[in-house]
Amino acid sequence: MDSFSADAVSTRFNGYFDRYEAGGRASGWVTDLSQPAKVVVLRALIDGVDQGEVVCNGHRDDVRGALGLPTAEVGFSFDIPEAFLDGEEHVLSFVLPDGAFLPHMGEGGLSALKPSYTFTDAPTVEIQGNVDGLVHNALRGWVIRKIGRTPLVQARCDILITCENIKIAQIKADRFRRDVGNVLGCDPNCGFEFTVPHAFQKSYTQKFRFFVLPEMIELGNSPFVTATVSDFLEGKLVSIGNDMSKMYADMERLRREIISLLPSQGYHLGDYDRWARRYYENLRARVAAERQLLKQAGKLPEEPFVTVMVPTYKPLLSDFVAAVESVIAQTYQNWELVIVDDGSKSQEVSDRIDAFCAQDKRIRCIRSKKNVGIAKATNISMDAALGEWTVFFDHDDVLVDVALEVMIRTAQRTGAKLLYSDEDKIDQAGYFLEPNFKPDWNYRYVLGCNYVCHLTVIETATMREVGLLKKEYDGAQDHDFILRCSEVLEPSQIVHVPELLYHWRITPNSTAADVSKKGYAVDAGVRAVSDHLKRKGQVAKVSSINGLTIYGVEWIPQSQPKVSIIIPFRDQIETTRKCIDYIRDNTDYPNYEIILVNNWSTSTEASRFSKEIKDRPNVRVLDVIEDFNYSRLNNLATAESDAEYYVFMNNDVFIEDETWLNRILGEAMSDERIGIVGGKFLYPNKTVQHAGVIVGTHGVAAHIHLGIPHDDYGYIGRARLSQDMVAVTAACMLIKADVFKEVGGFDEEHLKVAYNDVDLCLKVYESGRRVVWCADFVAWHHESLSRGSDMRPDQEARFFREQQTMYQRWGDKPFFRNDPFFNPNFSRVDRLFYDLEDPARIRTESEEAA
């Protein structure tokens, strides 16, 4: 025991507040040295507020013996009021009759004297309850909670149930139990009854455990060991049901294993030349077979006249000859080839052109006395075109022999007015490489790069409506032309032909070999995109990405509509707090609110967090005491919002870019047809978690570019360029409120956990609206922190049902069977994205769909 000092406080009073016990009891002693037999009365303060008198008449023999006092009645004891036992930080102090503070003796003894004591106690909790047993396949019991020193008890407690240490349910004990209420004199609504899910119904014994939340105190008679099926027939039916629910997962694992064991069966981009040679054989066979069928049926279509334009300037003679001969070799015969010799001053090229013209009357040449450049030379041929259709073709490239036939037949079948095909490159040795497998018409993507490129075929009347190429965009004149085409054509009139019909020649002087040789094209591209947007009356800033001929578009919103950011959470308070703090610290858009959907959080931290967060401006908390249903949680939140836009966000998404909300709002407001905008999300290791969703492949849906470095350009720049998609993830997704309501929101009946975001996107896409993935909105995503894996044993059956819902609902839709933004030449099974499909199988599904 510390020695006592008569002058520890003052000349008149001596004493200390020397003990604080868990549960909120403070004690100590005080004596009046001038009147040792007099009982001293203190005042207790908590957070500076008077809590009443404290009489020092408790027995303390230790003090009397140490100081030689005439009485031992100098001690005191003070119980903290229940209201302050809330786990928050509070300051306790005692005031002596002369106004001085009674010092608190800390662990350091007299050397640690302080005038107050800080406590953060929560009330003591006593749990009473029991698991009664299994009745009609339901586990029954009761529980009450006694809090602190009051005689009051709390019913309606939350209970976590596990089976063999797997969490299977969280329930509320709120069933009426008259027997418990009568015996204990408490609220009778304290019982529970839990029907064991089919996945956990077994004829053999299992260990069920019951924990009261948030304290995780285990109930009496827990663990409860029992078999949940006693009837033989019932047991067989349950067993069959369990086997069926697991079958899908087993088949999926087997399929993945088979694929991993048969790597030689697949093709990849590094093996492209081998794949291409098989592909071209298959392509020619398919075109010939279709031609023969049409001929036999007497349905061969007319062959409209086609003009192929070749502006020519100082090509390698061998490459030029190969280019012209590839036109002559076309299976489609009704064409003319207009060669514009743009002042080449090459006698051997001139002589070869004359020879071609003499050899084939379908070839004609127009000569320019001086070099006028690619744009004007092309314009000369555009003015001279006589065909119903016009084809853009470079002087050293090569057409596949069925190119014109495939393109014109597609135009006749679809009613297209502008068509483009896939393309690859060919080097001087005839080796095929670097295929450009393109998406269907993707307006947002074409703002970022001229992915259309070759082979381009356009209705001549439309070409004349669009106008000639513009020399001021030399280096990006074709990009400008495509953008101007998009201004006069409907999206349905621009058709992608997913066949490789064009070989872009790699030569030492070509841009195919070195894009940097056309550095001037970068500025021209920026101007082309900027001017296109100005003509459309849109306000945006266009810039080159890292000095390349790919472009970022930063939209500048002209208004500030209200946005509700909706974030469901269940406990995980540290993660949720971090998510909100990042939003508040890194959002420069003023007109937003946060709606937190508290889905049955039970921890004391969650309770404190909800109280704290409600005091913040523009933050609301919606409490939903139901089982986890992601769709319903978000639907309920939207019903509480009057915003024009919703942002659905997981609580494990962390945002660092202050412009993020302006970016995605600007994207959404750039076109009234845009319904949804998503973002690019990264794992903590700086690899890509989400860069858009592809549907109908790799299962129901899958993320493309998964796992590549965050700054990788991806395939043809698609990991760095915003683009139209069929679906994006709702980890962070912006949607127009009226569009959300129009399509019926999330499906809370059939898609409670998985695929609800994909389903929502598909409904929006099917309605004729656009879904845009914004590459410039980047955030961190700690995926599945919020709900865990779908492939846990307790989740497999639910996941399988939701997967089947998607197949039944969308499986026959053309955009699901063949995602328009995922080229059919790519593999649709679980190899790496952008592996190649077997050429023999490429068209099977698309032909069936057609």
Per residue in 552-570, pLDDT (tens digit) is 999 999 999 999 999 999 9
The domain boundary, picked from 230, 245, 262, lies at 230
**Based on the domain organization, do 419 and 403 belong to the same domain?**
yes
Under the banding of pLDDT at 50, 70 and 90, the label for residue 1 is: very low
Secondary element (H or E) of residue 759: helix 756-766
Confidence at residue 786, expressed as pLDDT on a 0 to 100 scale? 46
Confidence at residue 256, expressed as pLDDT on a 0 to 100 scale? 57
State pLDDT tens for residues 384-433.
Answer: 999 999 999 999 999 999 999 999 999 999 999 999 999 999 998 889 99
The residue with greater pLDDT, 255 or 484, is 484
Residue 622: helix, strand or coil by DSSP?
strand
Are 23 and 124 within 8 A, CB to CB? yes
DSSP letter string, 197-222: PGGG--SS-EEEEEEEETTTEEPBT-
Domain membership flag for residue 1: no
Under the banding of pLDDT at 50, 70 and 90, the label for residue 10 is: very low
Closest by Cα among 475, 470, 490 to 532: 470
**Based on the domain organization, do 687 and 739 belong to the same domain?**
yes
d(C-alpha 37, C-alpha 458), whole Å: 110
Domain membership flag for residue 479: yes
Q: Strand 125-135 relative to strand 138-147: parallel, antiparallel, unpaired?
A: antiparallel
Asked if residue 651 has pLDDT above 90, the reply is yes
Confidence at residue 199, expressed as pLDDT on a 0 to 100 scale? 74
**Based on the domain organization, do 113 and 135 belong to the same domain?**
no
Closest by Cα among 617, 517, 628 to 570: 628
Confidence at residue 3, expressed as pLDDT on a 0 to 100 scale? 39
Q: What tokens appear for 158 in the block? A: 């939350």
Confidence at residue 795, expressed as pLDDT on a 0 to 100 scale? 64
Closest by Cα among 799, 484, 781, 501 to 650: 781
Which structural domain range is residue 609 located in? 563-821
Task: For residues 255-280, give the mean pLDDT.
Answer: 74
Q: Strand 418-426 relative to strand 432-436: parallel, antiparallel, unpaired?
A: antiparallel
Q: What tokens appear for 373 in the block? A: 């450049």
**Based on the domain organization, do 171 and 24 belong to the same domain?**
no
Secondary element (H or E) of residue 288: helix 272-296
> What is the percent of the chain with per-residue pLDDT over 70, rounded to a whole number?
89
d(C-alpha 406, C-alpha 409), whole Å: 5
Domain membership flag for residue 6: no
d(C-alpha 470, C-alpha 376), whole Å: 8
Task: For residues 791-803, give the mean pLDDT.
Answer: 71
d(C-alpha 682, C-alpha 708), whole Å: 10
Q: How far is CA 563 from CA 397, 571, 620, 666, in A?
A: 51, 25, 13, 13
Question: What is the count of structural domains for the chain?
Answer: 4
d(C-alpha 101, C-alpha 117), whole Å: 11
Task: For residues 746-757, give the mean pLDDT.
Answer: 95
Asked if residue 750 has pLDDT above 90, the reply is yes
Determine if residue 735 is left, alpha or beta; phi over 0 gives left, psi from -120 to 50 gives alpha, anything else beta.
Answer: beta
d(C-alpha 556, C-alpha 539), whole Å: 6
Asked if residue 249 has pLDDT above 70, the reply is no
d(C-alpha 756, C-alpha 818), whole Å: 20
Confidence at residue 149, expressed as pLDDT on a 0 to 100 scale? 72
d(C-alpha 803, C-alpha 814), whole Å: 18
d(C-alpha 552, C-alpha 555), whole Å: 10
**Based on the domain organization, do 521 and 381 belong to the same domain?**
yes
d(C-alpha 165, C-alpha 732), whole Å: 32
Confidence at residue 201, expressed as pLDDT on a 0 to 100 scale? 81
The residues with which 118 forms a beta bridge, in sequence order, are 91
**Based on the domain organization, do 613 and 720 belong to the same domain?**
yes
Q: Which residue has the tokens 């697949």?
A: 266
Please report, for the domain that includes residue 574, its CATH number: 3.90.550.10
Confidence at residue 838, expressed as pLDDT on a 0 to 100 scale? 83
Confidence at residue 619, expressed as pLDDT on a 0 to 100 scale? 95
Confidence at residue 137, expressed as pLDDT on a 0 to 100 scale? 75
Closest by Cα among 104, 110, 76 to 16: 104
Triad 665, 671, 675: Cα angle to 5°: 65
Q: What tokens appear for 454 in the block? A: 């070759």
Confidence at residue 6, expressed as pLDDT on a 0 to 100 scale? 37
Task: For residues 793-807, give the mean pLDDT.
Answer: 79
SS (H, E, C) 9-76: CCCCEEEEEEEEECCCEEEEEEEECCCCCCCEEEEEEECCEEEEEEEECEECHHHHHHHCCCCCEEEE
d(C-alpha 5, C-alpha 114), whole Å: 16
Are 146 and 121 within 8 A, CB to CB? no
As a whole number of Å, the end-to-end CA separation of the chain is 93
Task: For residues 702-731, give the mean pLDDT.
Answer: 94
The four Cα atoms 803, 804, 805, 808 give a dihedral, to 10 degrees, of: 130
Q: How far is CA 149 from the centre of its chain?
A: 48
DSSP letter string, 562-611: -EEEEEEESS-HHHHHHHHHHHHHS----SEEEEEEE-S--SHHHHHHHH
Q: How far is CA 338 from CA 324, 327, 363, 568, 702, in A?
A: 10, 11, 6, 63, 46
Q: Which residue has the tokens 């998607």?
A: 806
**Based on the domain organization, do 745 and 702 belong to the same domain?**
yes
Confidence at residue 511, expressed as pLDDT on a 0 to 100 scale? 52
What does pTM read for this prediction? 0.83
Triad 755, 760, 762: Cα angle to 5°: 95
Backbone angles phi, psi at 152, to 5 degrees: -70, 145
Are 682 and 780 within 8 A, CB to CB? yes
Are 421 and 499 within 8 A, CB to CB? yes
**Based on the domain organization, do 176 and 91 belong to the same domain?**
no
Residue 806: helix, strand or coil by DSSP?
helix
Domain membership flag for residue 551: no
| Sequence-ordered list of residues with C-beta below 8 angstroms from that of 45, at least 6 positions apart, any chain | 51, 92, 93, 94, 95
Confidence at residue 236, expressed as pLDDT on a 0 to 100 scale? 58
Under the banding of pLDDT at 50, 70 and 90, the label for residue 230 is: low
Length of the chain: 850
Q: Strand 456-459 relative to strand 389-392: parallel, antiparallel, unpaired?
A: antiparallel
d(C-alpha 540, C-alpha 670), whole Å: 9
Domain membership flag for residue 846: no
Sign of the torsion angle spanned by Cα atoms 701, 707, 711, 713:
negative
Are 755 and 803 within 8 A, CB to CB? yes
**Based on the domain organization, do 516 and 573 belong to the same domain?**
no
Asked if residue 23 has pLDDT above 60, the reply is yes
The domain boundary, picked from 230, 250, 282, lies at 230
d(C-alpha 287, C-alpha 279), whole Å: 12
d(C-alpha 81, C-alpha 104), whole Å: 19
The domain boundary, picked from 181, 207, 230, lies at 230
d(C-alpha 346, C-alpha 369), whole Å: 12
Domain membership flag for residue 606: yes
Asked if residue 353 has pLDDT above 90, the reply is yes
**Based on the domain organization, do 814 and 776 belong to the same domain?**
yes
**Based on the domain organization, do 532 and 590 belong to the same domain?**
no
Where in 382-493 does DSSP place strands (E)?
A: 389-392, 398-399, 418-426, 432-436, 456-459
**Based on the domain organization, do 355 and 223 belong to the same domain?**
no
Domain membership flag for residue 844: no
Domain membership flag for residue 426: yes
Are 128 and 143 within 8 A, CB to CB? yes
Please report, for the domain that includes residue 58, its CATH number: 2.60.40
